Chains A and B, each alone.
Chain A
């Protein structure tokens, strides 16, 4: 195992090393482990695999509900979806990995409260495509750096998205148009991610890219308002304060 100086979660690394099975609970969500490998992740900040799969319309919500009620208690919802022909194995794996890394990004985010581990707890989705804990940690670190490389403004992640009109000649991509159509000045990037059925990190990175291109407003800072500088005096100032100038002159003459 590669030892990293700044492990995001030393506890996760320890559980991976001892090949633990169970649920790692943090304020921002849960990581599910089987034999030390991460099999699933959930976070209130990230749309779940159910949202991602049903938002496009190919899998109707009742199809998802049916799989959940038939195979949920057996922890085999993923396998049921594939076996019943509702989703292909390839699509389930791709969607699942996307959701796993997306939720893990928030679970392993900074400013976490206490971390607890419940041994033996399993997720209803079941085993789809387990990922090494070290890989998830490394990817989380890479994603944080990527966001800041695009546009170092973390406030964008939690502020409402306010579009700005494109400059002449500036074009928007199809995915950006879909995102900005939902930007009503109230929805945050997370709310837009849920509405689109797109991973939250994908929305965060897209909003940072839009901000870098000047296509969304920079967030209003909550700190003190910037100082208002007085207008500079110009020579053609129509009404100079004669009384003030006299007082200055008198004071200068008195002190000389």
Chain B
């Protein structure tokens, strides 16, 4: 049952991790941040990543009201968020956004910035999912 800081510090132990944050994507507020920000500062980075996350979480292409694949599988109990994570690959790094599902009404994601050469994207993705679940697990 980690808090925000424990969660972020654990994310920073991943190989190639350069910076991490927990961000609210409606307001663009960084609820917590550690390491280096890829942009000017943590607050500006939070506001910018929030805009990307909001687009993905809200547009129908990614979050359709009736997912035909859900219906095909007979999966009527659609728990969980429609979008789980986002990856942006740049020349020098990986940017990972993992949406966090909470029991209260929120719009929060975990953000991790990795070095492109030393980072392990697959491992980071799995660990971030794990962290996002433990953050809200009683």
In the assembled complex, the CB of B45 is this many whole angstroms from the nearest CB of chain A, namely 13
Is A201 on the interface with B (CB-CB < 8 A)? yes
Residue contact B3 to A89, C-beta cutoff 8 Å? yes
Among A52, A53, A87, A94, contact of B31 (Cβ-Cβ < 8 Å): A94
Is A118 on the interface with B (CB-CB < 8 A)? no
Is A88 on the interface with B (CB-CB < 8 A)? yes
A173's nearest neighbour on chain B, judged by CB, is B58
Residue contact A90 to B4, C-beta cutoff 8 Å? yes
Is A15 on the interface with B (CB-CB < 8 A)? no
Interface residues in A30-65 (C-beta closer than 8 Å to B): 52-53, 55-56, 58-59
Knowing A88-B1, A88-B138 are in contact, say whether A95-B27 is a contact too (CB < 8 A): no
> CB-defined interface of B92-111 with A at 8 Å, one 1/0 digit per residue?
00000000101111111000
Is B19 on the interface with A (CB-CB < 8 A)? no
Rounded to whole angstroms, the CA-CA distance of A201 and B107 in the bound complex is: 13
Residues of B within 8 A of A116 (CB): none
Residues of B within 8 A of A77 (CB): none
Residues of B within 8 A of A176 (CB): 58
Is A139 on the interface with B (CB-CB < 8 A)? yes
Rounded to whole angstroms, the CA-CA distance of A113 and B106 in the bound complex is: 32
In the assembled complex, the CB of B46 is this many whole angstroms from the nearest CB of chain A, namely 10
Among B4, B26, B105, B137, contact of A52 (Cβ-Cβ < 8 Å): B105
Residues of B within 8 A of A87 (CB): 103, 138
Interface residues in B12-28 (C-beta closer than 8 Å to A): 22, 24, 26-28
Rounded to whole angstroms, the CA-CA distance of A141 and B22 in the bound complex is: 21
Chain B contributes a number of interface residues (CB within 8 A of A) equal to 34
Q: Would you call the interface of chain B mostly helix, strand, loop, or mixed?
A: loop
Rounded to whole angstroms, the CA-CA distance of A39 and B79 in the bound complex is: 34
Is A216 on the interface with B (CB-CB < 8 A)? no
Among B31, B47, B107, contact of A175 (Cβ-Cβ < 8 Å): B107
Interface residues in A155-212 (C-beta closer than 8 Å to B): 171, 173-176, 196-199, 201-202, 205-206
Knowing A93-B31, A143-B27 are in contact, say whether A53-B135 is a contact too (CB < 8 A): no
In the assembled complex, the CB of B51 is this many whole angstroms from the nearest CB of chain A, namely 11
Residues of A within 8 A of B57 (CB): 173
Residue contact B105 to A94, C-beta cutoff 8 Å? no
Residue contact A56 to B136, C-beta cutoff 8 Å? no
Residue contact B43 to A142, C-beta cutoff 8 Å? yes
Residue contact B4 to A91, C-beta cutoff 8 Å? no
In the assembled complex, the CB of A253 is this many whole angstroms from the nearest CB of chain B, namely 70
Residue contact A197 to B29, C-beta cutoff 8 Å? no
Is A232 on the interface with B (CB-CB < 8 A)? no
Rounded to whole angstroms, the CA-CA distance of A201 and B136 in the bound complex is: 23
26 A-B pairs, CB-CB below 8 angstroms? A53-B104, A55-B104, A56-B105, A58-B104, A59-B104, A85-B138, A87-B103, A88-B137, A89-B3, A90-B3, A90-B135, A93-B4, A93-B32, A94-B22, A95-B104, A97-B29, A97-B31, A101-B29, A129-B4, A142-B28, A174-B63, A174-B65, A197-B104, A197-B105, A202-B26, A206-B26
